[in-house]
Amino acid sequence: MRASSISYASLTARGLVPNRWDLVAFPLVIGLLLLASEGARQTLAPLSTLKEPVVSLDPINLPEYALRTTLRMLAAMAASLFFTFTYATLAAKSRRVELVLIPILDILQSVPVLGYISFTVVFFMSLFPGRIAGAEAAVIFAIFTAQAWNMAFSFYQSLRTAPRDLEEAARSFRFSAWQRFWRLEVPFAMPGLIWNMMMSMSGSWFFIVASEAITVGDTTITLPGIGAYLAKATEEKNLAAIGWVILTMIIVILLYDQLMFRPLVAWADKFRFEQTGAQIAPNSWFLELLERSRLMGTVGRPAAVTLRILARQRFAPLRVRRIGRPEAPSTILDPVWFLAVAAAAIFAAWKVVAFVASGVSGSEVLSVFKLGLLTLTRVVVLIAIASLIWVPVGVNVGLRPRLAEKIQPLAQFLAAFPANLLFPVFVVGIVSFHLNPDIWLSPLIILGTQWYILFNVIAGTTAYPTDFREAATNFQMRGWQWWRSVILPGIFPYFVTGAITAAGGAWNATIVAEVVSWGNTKVTAQGLGAYIADNTAAGNYPKIVLGIAIMSLFVTLFNRLLWRPLYHYAEDRLRLD
């Protein structure tokens, strides 16, 4: 009897005896893993298993389609996180590397999803010949391009604007570059990064139709999923099917909000940079369930211990510049590096010009440039309007954690709402009332990207130290003085990040917002997005490259002339020190 009690106590101490929380947590987690493994197994099947019709509008198939689409989005999210922690860190830690990586990131976020698809479908299909995995990789990469840039900009902004107190703490504890990164800088950046992960996840729904139903010239790839289902429902004018899509999206967004993002927000709250505790901390029933589960704690302990050990190591793979201190210039390396970068840029530009010149006349280049000016005007006006609306809303939501918890799934759903679902309304309205498409299709551009501003403002407000807000209350700062002197400087770096990614997303959205169809009825607005979309469908690669190059030029110049100076202003004048 004593031996059995000792054995039971030993097993309990080791976490091998389940408790009541395990009865819910363990089956739930195992079920999610089994669903993920089943989706991964299907990617290894031959392409011949995709029998026509690949997508059926029978609602009974929607759970399977939703699972496939969600797994693709999660795979793209994992790739985006890896990209963020490597690319953004290199850009933030080295002035010379930043000179190259940030302009490239400006260009990458301006390239439309169709621009990537045009040149990557054949590549990924060749990696897995005759397998669904090739098509899946192409779709996941397309979704990745709708997620990664926003997250990279957020992480870069957090690393560049981290308080100098962190640098002093790192020096006091004699942290190496590796330790400072994982134990101070990453925790500081985590709240903003998680809100941008939410936005990236929701924003990728906006382009899911273009990703799962790909047509480039004579190549057509359709994979079972919510996007392909929606594309077919739109083509057949099936309003009932569109209704089923909306219901399915609501359910999926609520599920990953409760099982992933709500726990992450609650977990990241402990990393807020402040000297007083938050009055109301966000909570998550699923996070509490995992924390109280004995078996889940045992299963996850080796990974947690390994990560903790790695974070405490002193090796420093990178020499990093200190926060707030410029990297020492070099009279030899800087000019050589600048010349090398300039030479590479000139060579790349020459190759683009040579390729475009093989199929495009000089007069058409001028016409496409004018189309770019039209799209630029739309983007600037829409970003300004969205900022005036969503900055006050985001601040008020961020100051109220309970309200933020309620708004969070609603905001994710609105951000995920594909423009395709509104095509019937816009097409019928424009045709019936003889409206100008150049004006009335413009709201579709900002529909999915305005949420970048809202999510970043909420992230900035929630990360704003409570002690700063209490000091403002003690000094009786109210009204416009409070906005001008307290909250706007505090959230300004986050707003700039949101505005940059919203502008880049708006340029991306033009490919689906300037060419709208409902059945056989097609409405087109003049602009660069319509030009790229039409030539992508036709498979005219020189014209595709011309449209992408001009779009990248506009985005890069706009970022260089406006957003980057604002970034530097935020770094120098508006740090939370």
Asked if residue 469 lies in contact with residue 576, where contact means CB atoms within 8 angstroms, the answer is no
Of 487 and 110, the structure prediction assigns the larger pLDDT to: 487
Bridge partners of 521, per DSSP, are: 518
Asked if residue 199 lies in contact with residue 146, where contact means CB atoms within 8 angstroms, the answer is no
Give mean pLDDT, residues 544-554.
88
The residue ranges of every structural domain in the chain are 17-48+283-315, 50-271+333-573
Give mean pLDDT, residues 534-541.
81
pLDDT at residue 8 above 60? no
Question: DSSP string of 82-125?
Answer: HHIIIIIHHHHH-HHHHHHHHHHHHHHHHS-HHHHHHHHHHHHH
pLDDT at residue 169 above 80? no
User: pLDDT by residue (tens digit) across 435-458?
Assistant: 888 888 888 888 778 888 988 898
E strand spans, 398-544: 515-518, 521-524
Instruction: Supply the pTM of this predicted model.
Output: 0.76
Least Cα distance to 224 among 215, 212, 235, 233 occurs for 212
Q: Given this model, what pLDDT does residue 7 score?
A: 59
Residue 223, class by beta-carbon neighbours within 10 Å (0-12 exposed, 13-18 middle, 19+ buried)?
Answer: buried
pLDDT at residue 345 above 70? yes
Of 295 and 245, the structure prediction assigns the larger pLDDT to: 245
How many other C-beta atoms lie within 10 A of the C-beta of residue 80? 25
User: pLDDT by residue (tens digit) across 76-98?
Assistant: 999 999 999 999 999 888 877 88
Asked whether the CA dihedral 461, 464, 466, 467 is positive or negative, the reply is negative
User: pLDDT by residue (tens digit) across 191-232?
Assistant: 888 888 888 887 787 777 767 876 655 556 778 888 888 888
Asked whether the CA dihedral 280, 161, 201, 375 is positive or negative, the reply is positive
C-alpha to C-alpha distance for 175 and 166, rounded to whole angstroms: 11
Give mean pLDDT, residues 16-34.
65
> 293: Cβ–Cβ under 8 A, 6 or more apart, which residues?
19, 21, 22, 25, 26
Phi-psi domain of 419 (left: phi exceeds 0; alpha: psi -120 through 50; beta: other):
alpha
Residue 316, class by beta-carbon neighbours within 10 Å (0-12 exposed, 13-18 middle, 19+ buried)?
Answer: middle
Asked if residue 424 lies in contact with residue 362, where contact means CB atoms within 8 angstroms, the answer is no
Kindly list the distances between the CA atom of residue 179 and the CA atoms of 46, 89, 184, in Å, as whole numbers in the listed order. 46, 14, 8
User: pLDDT by residue (tens digit) across 262-310?
Assistant: 888 888 877 766 555 555 667 787 788 777 777 666 766 676 677 677 6
List of long-range contacts for 237-242, beta carbons under 8 Å, 24+ apart: 237/424, 237/518, 237/519, 238/57, 239/424, 241/57, 241/59, 242/421, 242/424
pLDDT at residue 460 above 70? yes
What does residue 403 show for φ and ψ, rounded to 5 degrees? -65, -40
Largest CA distance in the chain: 93
Average pLDDT, the chain: 78
Residue entry with tokens 């101490």: 13
Q: Band the pLDDT of 387: cuts 50, 70, 90.
A: very high
C-alpha to C-alpha distance for 383 and 145, rounded to whole angstroms: 21
* H/E element, 443: helix 442-447
For residue 53, say if its preceding peptide bond is cis, omega within 30 degrees of 0: yes
Q: Given this model, what pLDDT does residue 214 score?
A: 66
What does residue 524 show for φ and ψ, rounded to 5 degrees? -125, 135
pLDDT at residue 316 above 70? no
Q: Quick one: what percent of the chain has pLDDT higher than 90?
A: 10
User: pLDDT by residue (tens digit) across 230-242?
Assistant: 888 878 888 888 8
Residue 11, class by beta-carbon neighbours within 10 Å (0-12 exposed, 13-18 middle, 19+ buried)?
Answer: exposed
Question: DSSP string of 255-318?
Answer: HHIIIIIHHHHHHHGGG---SS--SS----HHHHHHHH-HHHHHHHHHHHHHHHHHHH----SS
Q: Band the pLDDT of 577: cuts 50, 70, 90.
A: low
Four-CA torsion 384, 387, 388, 394, nearest 10 degrees: 180
pLDDT at residue 333 above 80? no
> 306: Cβ–Cβ under 8 A, 6 or more apart, which residues?
none
- Percentage helix, strand, coil for the chain under 3-state DSSP, each rounded to 5: 80, 5, 20
Least Cα distance to 456 among 109, 193, 107, 145 occurs for 193
C-alpha to C-alpha distance for 226 and 245, rounded to whole angstroms: 7
Give mean pLDDT, residues 5-22.
56
What does residue 499 show for φ and ψ, rounded to 5 degrees? -70, -40
Q: Band the pLDDT of 39: cuts 50, 70, 90.
A: low
Q: Given this model, what pLDDT does residue 320 score?
A: 47
Q: Given this model, what pLDDT does residue 318 score?
A: 47
Bridge partners of 524, per DSSP, are: 515
Q: Kindly report the CA angle at 171 between 170 and 176, in degrees rounded to 5?
A: 65
Residue entry with tokens 């002690």: 467
Q: Give whichever of 30-44, 69-83, 101-115 has the largest mean pLDDT.
A: 69-83
Give mean pLDDT, residues 421-427.
76
What CATH class is the domain 50-271+333-573?
mainly alpha
Kindly list the distances between the CA atom of residue 89 and the CA atoms of 92, 98, 129, 196, 222, in Å, as whole numbers in the listed order. 5, 10, 35, 16, 36
Asked if residue 330 lies in contact with residue 520, where contact means CB atoms within 8 angstroms, the answer is no
